[in-house]
A and B are shown apart, each in its own frame.
Chain A
Amino acid sequence: MRNNDRFGERSHIDDELSGSDVERDEEEQVWLPTGQSADPAQSLRIGVYICRCGGNISDVVDVERVADTVRLIPGVTTAKVHTFVCSDPGQHMISNDILEENLDRVVVASCTPFLHEQTFRGAVARSGMNPYLYEHVNIREQASWAHKHDPEGATAKAIRMIAGAVGKLRYAQPLEQIKLPNHRRALVIGGGIAGMKAATDLAARGIKVLLVETEQKLGGRLNYLGRVYPSESAAAELVTELAQRVQQDPNIEVLLGWKITAVSGFIGNFKVMAEPVDASTSSLPGVHATVGAIIMATGFRPYVPRDGEFLYRSEPCVVTLPEFVQLMRNVSPDAKTLAYKQQKIRNIGFLHCVGSRQLDGVHEPGPDGRLNTYCSRTCCTAILQQALAVRKRFPQIGVFDFHQDIRTYGRGQENYYTDASRAGVVFFRYNGEEPPTVQVTPSSRAKNGALSVVVKDALTWGRELEVDVDMVVLGTGMMPGQIEDLIEQMKLATGDDGFLQEVHPKLRPVEVAVNGVLLAGTAQGPMNISETLAAAGAAAVKAAAMFAREDVELNPYVAEVDQSLCCGEAECVTQCAYEGALKMVEMEVDGELVQRAQVNAGLCVGCGACVAVCPHRAIDLNGWRLDQFEAMVEGIAADIPGRSCESELVTIH
């Protein structure tokens, strides 16, 4: 008999675990949930797969012992260990067992579900099993990594976590994804280069796009640039090319000078409202639209130095890089000299990392209390491009560059550095902890320039140097765009840097936690133009793939009302925080018209607030039912063969 065989094995394991020989009769109680009278799953065949993660797990957790122990849980018919369960052979092993051993439930104990829950749901589905009869247990982040120095405890914890998942699975029911119609139209927020690229990419694929831009003009930040590196073509050309394609494409509808003021709904079915930015000059009514996907191409804003930061706004010739770009753009073709605010410019100092790579204790936080600890990625090359342009256009002007590291990383960018060196740009290097300062030059010495940059220069072994210049250009970086309203409306996440946060930089780099919302360009973080174009294409392709389907499929973890138990007290509706997710409807019961709660599966997020308040337990959450929670707790708290739960409380730290 199978059970006897397994219990036979168990005493061997008991010896290993505790050294004591426990009576079998006692053991038989061990794994059985005590709180529930009727276990619906006596005849289940559950497969448990434990991943070594190439050593990430098995270097700490004794995975063989985990397998040997969980194999004893009633209902578990298979427990196996594999080096990478997520690999093809690992998935194949599961598929095979489902078919050959007639498994009807599967648990994989591996890394975070964030990485591989979908992988394994897919694997079991391919073998014909309902994907929601699968449970994922994270014994890497939560056991081997968290308890690296306590292998015994980590192993015990892994066993208990799996036992909990098995318990939950005993009460699991097959679920189907919720299918809803997909509105084959995308909203692109932002008409800069990212937004225009994403819009034209989708439109050229035959997908309708609504493009909303707050400015009166397409092009975004590119409208303020001169030439773009490394092609040295005019930014205006790029804007014109894309803007023409946007305006000529019948699939794209453009709203200039409009903003998005309301967003609701879900993937495939977002309801958005657009209104003119300046309501005082426009009598146009707001526009409602239904879109299937939203592409966030909201861009960045340049860092603006605080008053007095490097003498900005206190000395006229301290300017930001964007201001300097404007100055250079406006130089007349026959100008022999460069002048700014009546000052002839003979020497210029360029400062890198203004508003970027800020350090705690060195820099002053911004008004929001935040330091820009990140690198803005584009400024090094942009500065060198300007430095080189100055040297070429006005060879008599001395150009001095103050940097921590020169980050000309991209294709064609290193040339700016070598060319600038060859063109006579003089480089100084400072340590991030000791940034240079800008001072007004003492009048006795002012003939070389009214300003001086004081720097502890690493290239001359830390000597303090004063470099006199007429103008200081602050290499200002990028800041997150001001889209607090949208972030709030759409419940988007931002990172420590304030930029919009992707789900995972490699697995889902342009997606956010809200399904159907995609990131394009510098809304996500600093990027240069070609990187922005690529990111916009990557966002567009995700939208295009989504629109290749007739329906959108949503997770089935939504509330469901048992109409036979609902008494129409509406406490759940009062608790529900998601508009329209739960409402009272009139229906006929036994010839009487009564009020009953009803869930809108598209709007329900499965938070469970309604479940907690229902006095009749008439509402429950699919996939996370109360009986499943109870079984999970039973499983976790059960006595492991040979070891009571209480004894473990000491072991698990």
Chain B
Amino acid sequence: MNTHVSSDFTPDAVIIGGGIAGLQSALDLADQDLQVLLVERQSSIGGHMIALSKVYPTLDCASCITTPKMSAAAHHPNITILTNTEVEGLDTRDGVHHVRLLQKPTYVNFDKCIGCRLCEYACDTEYPDPFEEGLGAVRAIAVPFTNAIPQKAVLNAEACGTCGTCARVCPTEAIEYDQQPRRLTVRTDAVVVASGFNLNAVTVKPQYNAHRSHNIISPLMLERLLAPHGPYGRVLRPSDGKMPSSIAFVQCAGSRDESIGVSYCSRVCCMYAIKQAMLLSGALPLADITLYYMDIRAFGKGYEQFFQNAKAMGINFVRGKVARIDPVEDGDLSLHVETTEDAEDPLQERRHDMVVLAQGMIPGWQPADSTPVACASDGFVATPALTAPTATTAPGIFVAGTAAGPKDIVDTIAEAGAAAMQVSQYLYQKRSSVLVA
């Protein structure tokens, strides 16, 4: 894997973000013999997708789909990958983009680290594992997760107790406590913004009281609970380790809601909630599973059939907006919901022992702050060109995936391919016009 970049390295394209969008764009460019630099701010490529359990509508395990793309990118001779690296800014001069990068210290020399994990085994300081959405613990120095790329240990300076054990056990003297941030600027002709999404906070709607109960969880937490290699190896609710017997999915808990500033639909929540409900009913065959929704938006190829299968499996679909959630005794939760199903009793109180809030998708990065790329009123990258949906407002800078609005994996992959196509034709046009001139 190429991980070395000097200031005279001028890749054909820089891809900002190593999630599924960035990986697919990188592969589609590299396969056309273009040199690509992929920049990822986390310690591993793979983005959100690598942490998912299974993916709809095929129910393939997410790792099985993501790892080959990660691995293909890592082994591609035309792709250079920088992890732990942020884009501080981008200026365009004479059609050339100067991408200012900040490589954060990992306190491990990647040239020396062989990924043996001896440091991780020896470290006695732990902190909540971000890969497990805080449901498990990870050592202060660790390889980020089983199938991370690169397989290099990274030290979390905030968690580290500076005891020096890792340096003592490292067989290759790779630990460098004095590592400093490194800044470098890379010049390139084309850029793809594939900076992905974040979820808004589970606490975004105060009436759901997520700050008062550990059993109101985010869908990404449930992904980890459902993953065969997840934190507990089975589905347990966080507050007391009880196997939940009645689980509620509260849809549109952070989207389609002007009161929290997210009026748009996050597009993926219906389908992942249905998927999670199906997986839960496999993991906990006796559990009651209820999905509270406004509209089921199963619009993609094979999605409607997936939804119908879930109904046939006995998952309860209740059309109703959850107004309030209150923690009650034994860690359970009381949901106040207005349903459209019972004329006699439309306002109901229902009890569940775990609640999953479908949070909304919001931009993962604000390129407008430090680059010429403009964002639209929804906060995502603006794509004004009618016939080129991946073109941004800045010439030579393109966008793919959820950086340009909520999108599922299938649509993200298509768009990433389209962005790669835009880049390669942009480069071809730019370079052939230079040749002519």
Residue numbers of A with Cβ under 8 A of B are 53-56, 59, 83-84, 86-92, 111, 115-116, 118-119, 122, 126, 197, 201, 204-206, 231, 233, 237-238, 241-242, 357, 359, 373-375, 377, 405-415, 418, 429, 458-463, 495-497, 499, 504-507, 509-510, 524-526, 530-531, 533-542, 544-545, 548
Contact = CB atoms under 8 A, between A and B. Distances in A.
B374 interface: no
Given A86-B68, A205-B421, A537-B414, 9 more contacts: A87-B63, A374-B302, A374-B304, A407-B299, A458-B319, A533-B418, A534-B414, A535-B418, A542-B417
A564 B147 CA distance: 51
Contact of A459 (B146, B229, B340, B429): B340
Contacts of B67: 84, 86-88
Interface string B398-415: 000000111001110111
A524 B299 CA distance: 14
Contact of B301 (A197, A201, A374, A406): A374
Contact of A537 (B303, B308, B418, B429): B418
Nearest to B66: A506
B313 interface: no
Given A538-B418, A542-B417, A126 B63 contact: no
Contact of A411 (B151, B303, B380): B380
B340 A530 contact: no
6 contacts: A84-B146, A122-B75, A206-B432, A461-B340, A506-B410, A541-B421
Nearest to B417: A538
B64 A111 contact: yes
Nearest to A353: B304
Given A59-B228, A537-B390, A548-B32, A206 B428 contact: yes
Q: Which of B115, B346, B424 has the most CB of A within 10 A?
A: B424
Nearest to B69: A507
B425 interface: yes
A87 B68 CA distance: 7
B65 A507 contact: yes
Contact of A531 (B72, B308, B414): B414
A458 B340 contact: yes
Q: Which of B115, B409, B418 has the most CB of A within 10 A?
A: B418
A461 B228 contact: no
A83 B421 contact: no
A237 B340 CA distance: 43
A238 B386 contact: yes
A534 B411 contact: yes
Interface in B103-142: 115
Given A116-B68, A458-B341, A89 B115 contact: yes
Contacts of B239: none
B299 A375 contact: yes
Contacts, number: 231
A396 to B, nearest CB: 29
Nearest to B301: A525
A375 B304 CA distance: 6
Which 7 A-B residue pairings sit nearest by Cβ, starting from the closest? A537-B418, A55-B228, A538-B417, A461-B343, A87-B147, A545-B31, A54-B229
A534 B149 contact: no
A538 B421 contact: yes
A201 B432 CA distance: 15
A405 B296 CA distance: 6
A89 B28 contact: no
Interface stretch (B53-61, B159-167, B175-183, B206-214): B53-61
A87 B71 contact: yes
Given A83-B229, A87-B67, A533 B151 contact: no
B424 A205 contact: yes
A506 B302 CA distance: 13
Give the size range of B's interface with the partner: 35 or more
Contacts of B419: 537
Nearest to A237: B386
Given A87-B146, A374-B305, A405-B296, A115 B71 contact: no
B190 to A, nearest CB: 13
Given A241-B387, A405-B296, A458-B341, A83 B146 contact: yes
Nearest to A87: B147
B91 interface: no
Given A88-B151, A374-B301, A405-B296, A233 B263 contact: no
Contacts of A463: 343
B422 A506 contact: no
B147 A88 contact: yes
A541 B63 contact: no
A89 B147 contact: yes
Nearest to B419: A537
A608 B340 CA distance: 60
B429 A204 contact: yes
A377 B233 contact: no
A411 B377 CA distance: 11
Given A86-B64, A86-B67, A92-B151, A373 B265 contact: no
B388 A533 contact: yes
Given A88-B147, A126-B75, A545-B28, A414 B341 contact: no
Contact of A373 (B55, B305, B341, B388): B305
B127 to A, nearest CB: 23
Nearest to A458: B340
Contacts of B303: 375
Q: Which of A84, A111, A463 has the most CB of B within 10 A?
A: A84
A525 to B, nearest CB: 4
A475 B388 CA distance: 28
Q: Which of A206, A541, A544 has the most CB of B within 10 A?
A: A541
B158 to A, nearest CB: 26
Nearest to A85: B67
B364 interface: no
Nearest to A405: B295
Q: Which of A238, A540, A545 has the most CB of B within 10 A?
A: A545
B418 A534 contact: yes
Contacts of B341: 458, 461-462
Given A54-B61, A409-B267, A86 B71 contact: yes
Contacts of B411: 531, 534
Contacts of A537: 390, 414-415, 417-419, 421-422
Nearest to A204: B425
Given A509-B410, A534-B418, A231 B386 contact: yes
Contact of B68 (A115, A411, A458): A115
B71 A91 contact: yes
Given A407-B295, A414-B263, A505 B421 contact: no
B22 to A, nearest CB: 15
Interface string B279-309: 0000000000000000111111111110010
Contact of B340 (A205, A429, A539, A545): A429
Interface string B256-267: 100000011101
A505 B147 contact: no
Contacts of A538: 413-418, 421
Contact of A533 (B150, B387, B413): B387
Contacts of A231: 386
A536 B389 CA distance: 11
A504 B301 CA distance: 12
Contact of A375 (B229, B298, B410, B414): B298
B349 interface: no
B173 interface: no
B71 A119 contact: yes
A312 to B, nearest CB: 23
B68 A507 contact: yes
Interface string B49-90: 000000101101101110110111011000000000000000
Contacts of A461: 340-343, 346
Nearest to A92: B151
A460 B33 CA distance: 61
B60 A506 contact: yes
Contact of B264 (A92, A126, A238, A414): A414
B68 A119 contact: yes
